[in-house]
């Protein structure tokens, strides 16, 4: 018997001759092996014996220094086992020889099935048992099929920091404002530091727990969550997440019952601020107070969009928050303020103007609530025109929000005073400096400590 390589079986006679032999007489010299099965230098002898008229074939070999014997009723089974033992002895794997034949067949079949995958048998068994434990009574094949349906379009595994970097680059290339990019960068870089793993592994519970641990105001937490929701939507659009499933951020809810501060300036407060404002702050203060244009929208605006002859400010779709073109009327008093200025280039020419604007109000001992100028404009405007729909169009908001939050915050008489604020004599002579290092303001040459 030769099964390839250095394997050989030798015998001393045919099977028929074996069966015709009788017991050897007493005193006769003991016969040697009936067969010798070789694999390389390893030899396993097979002995033939007869008991009660039945022929038996015995393997005799040494394993770990001890003599082993195995008895078979079939010569073919004995040859097969002898060859296997010889091969294992040659390969230094005698410990496998204690497997039963059916166990050894299962072992070989399992190894054959895993051969193409390159996965070791032990690793495959460990992975199966882990999956079986997680799946409970569910079918692993059914679960794998469902997983494939959901994730087959996911192009690759990618980490959250990598997606953040890609998203910020895309937003910059798409012309997003510096203010919006700054908000995204601040929130998402912080998020990526906390969650450096793959975007597929993030969970809603982890995101919610992290936001709650930051100890920030509810409004700030909502703003951060909105950025994170935008991030996961971007990841899904890039096929880093399944397109037909909700993202980890979707179940996380915004904080409810956040106190909406719709505080407004009185006409007297606004007049005090404007009459103290230096020329560089007039455009920001006057346009926000008397037209309701948002801070972010104003930062995108060129003076070419301000038409004093037609008394309108035109916001293009790419400049407006709502991504739709909007035409804002210029009131008589706003026209008087803007007529003082040289209207060329960007309306907001420097970032620090917003810092100076709030610093000026602090120097005047006037509190600056969030979005106070826009809230003031909407409140006084609706008191003047008596139409939530008209104000909604001008402010780029919904009529329901205008009606719900701004109606009856002030009176028509107060609105007339608000839209009657005009420049004072010597308005352009005002000076104001915010000394950031020493935390003090210098208004018209007078030092005002914080």
Position 14 confidence tier, pLDDT thresholds 50, 70, 90? very low
Q: CB–CB of 9/38 below 8 Å?
A: yes
Orientation of helix 279-291 relative to helix 372-385, angle to 10°: 50
Residue 99 has pLDDT above 80, yes or no: no
Gap between the Cα atoms of 272 and 421, Å rounded:
10
Domain that residue 78 falls in? 7-114
In a domain, 444, yes or no: yes
Residue 17 pLDDT > 70, yes or no? Answer: no
Is residue 148, in this structure, part of any structural domain at all?
A: no
Q: Which of 430, 419, 420 is nearest to 277 (CA)?
A: 430
| Structure tokens belonging to residue 440 | 């003090």
Q: Is residue 349 domain-resident?
A: yes
Instruction: Give domain status of residue 130, yes or no.
Output: no
User: Most confidently modeled of 27-31, 54-58, 113-117, 369-373?
Assistant: 54-58
Residues 230 and 272 in one domain: no
The number of domains in the chain is 3
Q: Is the pLDDT of residue 273 over 90?
A: yes
Q: Mean pLDDT throughout 136-149?
A: 70
Taking 90 as the threshold, does the pLDDT of residue 129 lie above it?
Answer: no
Dump pLDDT digits (tens) for 311-332: 999 888 767 666 678 889 999 9
Per-residue pLDDT at 133 exceeds 70 = yes
The answer to whether residues 233 and 247 touch, using CB atoms and an 8 Å cutoff, is: yes
Which of the listed residues 57, 84, 114 is the one where a domain comes to its end? 114
| For residues 220-239, average pLDDT | 91
Residue 342 shares a structural domain with residue 406:
yes
Q: Is 67 exposed, middle or buried (0-12, 13-18, 19+ CB in 10 A)?
A: exposed
> Are residues 287 and 404 both part of a single domain?
yes
pLDDT band for position 36 (cuts 50, 70, 90): confident
Q: How far apart, in whole angstroms, are the C-alpha atoms of residue 32 and residue 168? A: 84
In a shared domain, residues 421 and 306: yes
pLDDT at 94: 47
CA dist list (Å): 53 to 274, 401, 447: 123, 105, 124
| pLDDT at 148 exceeding the cut of 70 | no
pLDDT digits (tens, 9 = 90+) for 57-95: 998 887 766 778 888 989 999 999 989 888 887 776 544
Q: Pick the range with the lowest mean pLDDT from 21-30, 118-127, 340-349.
A: 21-30
> Do 278 and 399 lie in a common domain?
yes
Tokens describing residue 372: 């106070």
- Spatial contact of 258 and 217, defined as CB atoms under 8 Å apart: no
Q: What's the confidence (pLDDT) of residue 213? A: 93
* Residue keyed to tokens 């982890």: 206
Task: Please name which of 171, 174, 201, 175 lies closest in space to residue 188, comparing C-alpha atoms.
Answer: 171
Residue 405 or 97, more confident = 405
- Hey, is 112 helix, strand or coil? helix
Q: Are 61 and 47 in contact (CB under 8 A)?
A: no
pLDDT at 128: 79
Q: Which range is least confidently modeled, 67-71, 320-324, 409-413, 424-428?
A: 320-324
pLDDT in the model for residue 12: 46
pTM above 0.75, yes or no: no
Both structure tokens of 362: 């602090």
Residue, of 51 and 313, whose pLDDT is higher: 313
| Residue from 256, 188, 248, 190 nearest 222 by CA | 256
Three-state SS for 46?
Answer: strand
Token pair recorded at residue 95:
């410990």
DSSP string, 406-445: TTTSS-HHHHHHHTT--PPTTGGG--EEEETTTTEEEETT
Q: What is the CATH number of the domain that holds 403?
A: 1.10.443
CB atoms near residue 397 (< 10 Å): 20
End-to-end CA distance of the chain: 103
10: phi then psi, degrees, rounded to nearest 5: -120, 145
Q: Is residue 126 part of a domain?
A: no
- The DSSP call for residue 304 is G
Give percent of the chain with pLDDT exceeding 70: 82
Given a cut of 80, whether residue 367 has pLDDT beyond it is yes
pLDDT at 33: 83
Residue whose C-alpha is closest to residue 300's, from 335, 358, 347: 347
| Residue 339 within any structural domain of the chain | yes
Query: Is residue 151 included in any domain, yes or no?
Result: no
Q: What is the pLDDT of residue 388?
A: 81
Mean of pLDDT over the chain = 82
83-94: b (≥16 Cβ within 10 Å) or e: bbbbbbbbeeeb
- 444 and 301 belong to one structural domain: yes
For residue 250, is it within any domain?
no
265 against 98, higher pLDDT? 265
Q: Which two tokens stand for residue 285?
A: 């203060």
**Residue 421, pLDDT above cutoff 70:** yes
- The pLDDT of residue 387: 83
**Model pLDDT, residue 22:** 44
How confident is the model at residue 118, as a pLDDT? 75
Residue 278 has a pLDDT of 95
Q: What is the pLDDT of residue 92?
A: 65
The CATH number given to whatever domain includes residue 194 is: 1.10.150
Same domain, yes or no: 211 and 287: no
Residues 181 and 328 in one domain: no
Residue 18 has what pLDDT? 42
Number of H helices, E strands in the chain: 18, 11
């Amino acid at each position: 018997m030769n099964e390839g390589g250095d394997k050989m079986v030798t015998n001393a006679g045919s099977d028929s001759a074996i069966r015709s032999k009788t017991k050897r007489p007493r005193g006769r010299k003991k016969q040697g092996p009936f067969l010798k099965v070789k694999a390389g230098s390893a030899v396993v002898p097979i002995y033939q014996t007869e008991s009660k008229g039945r022929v038996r074939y015995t393997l005799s070999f040494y394993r770990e220094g001890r003599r082993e014997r195995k008895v078979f009723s079939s010569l073919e089974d004995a040859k097969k086992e002898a060859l296997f033992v010889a091969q294992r002895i040659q390969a230094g794997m005698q410990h496998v020889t204690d497997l039963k034949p059916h166990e050894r067949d299962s072992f070989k079949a399992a190894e054959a099935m895993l051969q193409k995958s390159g996965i070791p048998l032990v690793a495959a068994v460990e992975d199966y048992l882990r999956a079986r434990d997680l799946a409970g009574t569910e079918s692993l094949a059914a679960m794998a099929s469902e997983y494939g349906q959901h994730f087959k379009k996911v192009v690759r595994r990618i980490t959250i920091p990598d997606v953040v970097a890609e998203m910020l680059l895309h937003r910059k290339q798409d012309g997003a404002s510096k203010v919006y990019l700054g908000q995204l960068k601040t929130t998402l870089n912080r998020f990526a530091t906390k969650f450096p793993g793959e975007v597929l592994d993030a969970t809603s519970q982890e995101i919610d727990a992290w936001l709650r641990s930051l100890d920030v105001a509810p409004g700030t937490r909502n703003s951060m969550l909105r950025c994170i929701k935008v991030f996961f939507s971007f990841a899904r659009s890039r096929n880093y997440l399944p397109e037909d499933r909700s993202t980890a951020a979707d179940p996380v809810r915004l904080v409810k019952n956040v106190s909406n501060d719709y505080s407004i300036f009185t006409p007297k407060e606004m007049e005090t601020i404007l009459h103290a404002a230096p020329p560089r702050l007039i455009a920001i203060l006057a346009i926000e107070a008397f037209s309701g244009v948002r801070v972010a929208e104003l930062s995108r605006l060129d003076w070419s969009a301000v038409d004093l002859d037609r008394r309108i400010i035109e916001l293009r779709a790419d400049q407006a928050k709502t991504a739709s073109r909007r035409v804002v009327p210029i009131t008589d008093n706003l026209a008087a303020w803007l007529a003082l200025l040289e209207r060329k280039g960007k309306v907001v020419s420097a970032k620090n103007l917003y810092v100076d604007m709030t610093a000026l109000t602090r120097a005047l001992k006037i509190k600056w609530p969030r979005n106070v100028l826009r809230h003031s404009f909407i409140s006084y405007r609706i008191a003047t025109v008596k139409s939530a729909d008209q104000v909604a169009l001008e402010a780029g908001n919904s009529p329901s929000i205008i009606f719900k939050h701004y109606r009856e915050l002030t009176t028509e008489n107060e609105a007339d005073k608000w839209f009657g604020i005009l420049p004072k004599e010597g308005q352009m002579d005002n000076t104001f400096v915010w000394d950031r290092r020493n935390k003090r303001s210098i208004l018209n040459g007078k030092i005002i400590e914080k």
